[in-house]
A and B are shown apart, each in its own frame.
Chain A
Amino acid sequence: MVADVAGQTKTTHLFYQPLLIKRRPRALMTGDKIFKVFTTSVALIVVLVVGLMAYYLYLGSRPSIERFGAGFIVGTKWDPVKGVFGALPVILGTLTTSAMALLIALPLSLGVALALSEYMPKRFSNVFSFLVELLAAVPSVVYGLWGLYVLMPFLREVVYPPIRSSLGFLPLFSGPIYGGGVLTASLLLAIMITPIMSAIMRDLFALTPSTLKEAAIALGAIKWEAVKLMISYARSGIIAATILGLGRAIGEAMAVTMVIGNKFQLLPSSLFDAWYTMAAILANEFIESIDELHISALINVGLLLLVINLIVLICARLIVWHYLKVVGGIMRE
């Protein structure tokens, strides 16, 4: 009997199908609205958090802003004993090391991602993808320790001396070798951001429709040309991955401070020389500092870091967008 009734309802429903279609969107709309309100409020929370962060950083850095004003940004001295603070050297250090890291990491991670998704046999690529994802999850202090105990001695003993003896005529590659320094920090940062960037890019390439590649090959394109098409197709995702990597490089504190040498100077004498970054000076001096102005100056550095991150991310978006448009070519709108 029950089955019968059920059967009947089914037929009725089938019979009045046009009515059902009419009712469905209305039912969906309430859920849609709730979901929309939910997602919008979550997005607003993000804005709120960033706003609150900027506000409290501003509050904390008020004594420093009142004392130094804009001179803080162009100041080149950092003397906690005499109470003189300027952030230009660390700003330059942050920008240089993250730019160098990105320069190394972008082609590297593109290569890793393409190898994993296009060139490697499936069996190997699964294992390697897993390893890459594992590397992306390693905490930065572990990278820092590895940098300090393994990478630094290796670079000092094996890599840097031949570079200096062959390229030493350039000021960039002259001067004393400590092991740590600008180049070491950039290399370590590049190693740190490559896994996350290549993991995202590999997923992007896996998601490109195979018809795209097949069509290109059917039209007589060689594999490299088909791959170029894929890069161009995944362009916006590559930008997102790059920006994620750059954000991590700019904000990285622990690993950088362990290998960069932490020397507060406007410009290093060479790529082997020690330097400093904004995040590193925060990680170093915030904890045990006692003097109010010193702490305020450090919070001011934090505020600048937030602002610079914002500016750099916007610029990076513009630059990478433009660059990929030129290289990609084929898929230009």
Chain B
Amino acid sequence: MIWFLLALHAAVVVIVASIGAHVGRRVLWLAAIPMAATALWSITRLTSSSTVTATLDWVPGLGVNLEFRVDAMGSLLSVLVSGIGALVCVYAVGYFSAGAANMGRFAATLLAFSAAMVGLVWADSVWTLFIFWELTSITSFLLVGFKHTDPVARTAARRALVITAGGGLSLLAGFVFFVDAAGTARLSEITPITGSTATAAAILILVAAATKSAQFPFHVWLPGAMAAPTPVSAYLHSATMVKAGVILVAVIAPAFQDTGVWKPLGLAFGLTTMVWGAVGALRHVDAKLILAWGTVSQLGLLIALLAIGTPKATFAAISILVAHAVFKAALFMVVGEVDVRAGTRNINDLSGLRRSMPVTFVVAVVSGASMAGVPPLLGFPAKESAIEATLGLDGTEFLLVGGLIIAGSALTVAYTVRLLVGMFASSAPMIDREVAPRRLAMTSPEMILAGASFVGFVALGWVSDVVRSAVVTVAPKAEVYSLLRWPGLTDAFLISVGVVAVGVVFGALLARRRAVSGPVARGAANVDWSIDGVGRLARQVAARVQHGSLPLYLATMLLVVCVAAVPFVGAIDTATLYWWDNRAEAVLVLMIVATSVAATTVSSRLGAALVLGGVGFSVAGLFVAHGAPDLVLTQLLVETVIVVGFVVGLGRLATRFPTPTRLWFVGRIVLSAAAAAAVGLALAGGAGSQVGEAPIRDLAETAQTDGGGKNVVNVVLTDTRALDTLGEVIVLMVVSVGILTLSMRRRRDQGRDGTERVAS
């Protein structure tokens, strides 16, 4: 079933991508099918205790296999991923206008992301997880940059890719350390590990999770990612992809509980992010950015809870993860609908949508209340369990962690109130904005998600069972906990009441004070500046090194040859050196020397080319003297082609060489002599250091028996060492493609010059 669902995703991606151009936005219905199928299958497995596995050997020698394992946790997460994905597809049908372009690309990328995310939550081997982790980064990049003509979207996409893919590298290194320390790549076989390798792995994996889940200071990419169409923001950047880091921390935490660094570092990431995100959400005026910063804050809370590491805290984290995915996706959809129908997302310009968009208003209030942790909604018991978990901590830890989490909750209530009041309440100067008519495709997914927040509270026993069986897979001791509809007048409940009260007052006050515009994204600007800086540096270095002077390139290469020959000087064994095998060689060498000298003194270019050919033919003569007919044939042919090739090439140049300056003239002579000496010395050194017998006898035998040919050279080329020949063929092809590309480009440039001339 695992393979079938993944293959279904892949197949539909291809179909959607190819028919999208003709079908338009309706292609999203098709993209929703694999997601819905996956969600339904996962729902049937939610509370079942059995697991489904699938394995495909990939590189067995390295222990790298594609391994999937769908347990209770995997099922729960894939219900969220695929279920919300299907709803987002439906929503997107309403979000995009009828004639929207590139719908095939959009639907295909969205579905590809969904497949990658499902693969990620089902992965059992860390290598499998890594592959799907990177795939989500890439699809996220493509989706953020969906409006590829918009420079803002392009910059945001690049920023997101650099940060998340950089995190991917950290993850890879972390996994290498992890597998080394744990002795297994399977997530289901995790045991606690300690030691310096484990510590390094813990840090690297936490950093990777922090980049993906937008933890301070890596959070800067997430608000920028809001340049994507709102369905993407609702799906990737609130409900699913940004949870990948949280999920990773949750499933791998049992391994690192005992390393000293895991908990403090995780808490530092989580708590800072939670507070900073909430502050950000209070400062912005773009409703979508408020939600994005709110997401950053919530992700911080999740990481902090998981870092605490008690079964109770893990249970609370997974509960909040579920509740958050439901209400945050709905809120993003609301903002997207407001954007489409009212034409703006700026809460300063919006007012009184309560009357003109009643359905949306109800959805927003229900989901917002769930986010603020108000009963009777799913967010309430989840938030309650989190506060309950922090109350279990002792002394200073409670003061710091608990205090910050409670303060963060109050801020969450505050920005929720500010957002809702800003969009829906009437305020003096802007009464009742005109809005476009409602679209059913947008409203129904919103209502389903808002309904889920409510039904989740009504059917809390079932939700509690589902979450518990998922949490038990990573924290077995969590089986005693459950979500409570009415906890009674406990400390946690009293704190909750206080949190909501403070938050409402604070939020209402802030909503009244209208900020002119949001803060400048300084962190994001710094990231962009660094990325551009690398590009600038590369251009400067390239301009310095790739100066374009052919003689200087040649001189550089020869200098390197001279330096490289130095070690060979010591290896020369004069006893093995002798003058010649037969006298003809002496004559041929004299010919080579004579033609070489002539080549440097001839002043006509064509003449030099011909004399150079003479050098080549004399070398072929040397091969004859040594009895190597294959080499002779090849050498003669190569020289022939080169000489006639020169005739073609020289047609474009002046017939005579330019007169060199004195310095260059002397320098050339010195350099040539040095290079010649270097090559000569290296060959002499090589001749004296033969190791073992020459393999000619073996080759000659196998040529007859295995290769079925009498010409050893050719059998070596086409059979014995055919892989080398294959490599050479590839090199030739690469060179040819390079030449063709250059000449194509030149032709295009000439064409452009031509048209300009015509125009003037």
Q: Answer whether A and B are interacting partners.
A: no
Interface residues of A (CB under 8 A from B): none
Interface residues of B (CB under 8 A from A): none
